[in-house]
Structures are given as structure tokens and as C-alpha cells.
Copies of this chain bind each other. A is one copy, B any other.
């Protein structure tokens, strides 16, 4: 058994029980973004969170233990993702990548926007011409230092 199998079991249980990510997040006491990433095998559960998951998804002791082990992260089956929704994000990085780089450096100097000290919020933005997906990403700026 490994984490991948626990993830598959969680997804299957979610489908079978008709659960929603927002409800799962409420039970876990975290944002829906973190909770979903955690259930999909990208984040590490505390013992308390793992106990909630055990109950939600009918996990065994061993499966519950795996949730508390740091996983090997990365959720894409290929370097360039085939799924259209995920590809659009890859395309944003491809088309706007150098733009993002230029503007962050202009504001902050050399360094990066952290993907670790990071949070994400996804919401519906009502719009008469068709609702929009609004995503807010917040990552700590980490400067390169001389030494």
C-alpha cells in the first residue's frame, strides 16, 4: 500500500457517498483548497485531520497512518497536462510566464514567489456576460541573497 492507493480509495468513497469538497473541508476545519489538495495526496494530515478523514471515507488504520506521512507530491501524469482545464493553467504559465517574472522582479527585485508559503482561493465571480472563475494566489516573496 502507498499514498496513491489511499487517494484512489478517498476519491472512490467520495463518489460512492456523494460528498462535496466544501463539506469535506468543513469537517476538516480547513479551506476547501487545502482540504482538496490533501485528499488528492498532495498535503500531509495531522493526526486529528486523519481521524476525520478516516471517518469520512471509512479508512483502515494503515490508510489513516499513510495520510500522516509526507507524500511524494505532483499530481500530473505528464509534463504537459492533457486535460483541457488543467492545460489552460499550463498555458497561462506558458504565455504569461515571462510577464509574471518581469513584474515580480520590477516590484520586489530578484527572488521568487513561494509555492510553499502559499495559499489559494477559488471563487465564483458573478458576471452578466457569463460568470467567471476568480482565483487569488498568495505566496511569500523570497529574495535571493548575496553571500
Contact = CB atoms under 8 A, between A and B. Distances in A.
Contacts of A95: 37, 42, 73-75, 84, 115
B146 A99 contact: no
Range of interface residues on chain A?
A: 35 or more
Contacts of A80: 79-80
Copies in the complex: 10
Given A33-B147, A114-B142, A82 B99 contact: no
Q: Is the interface of A mostly helix, strand, loop or mixed?
A: mixed
Contacts of A114: 88, 142
Interface of A: 1-2, 8, 11-12, 15-16, 18, 20-22, 30-34, 36-37, 40, 42-44, 46, 62, 65-66, 69-70, 72-120, 122, 124-125, 127, 129-147
What 7 pairs across the A-B complex have the smallest Cβ distances? A74-B82, A113-B133, A44-B110, A88-B115, A75-B98, A70-B105, A37-B99
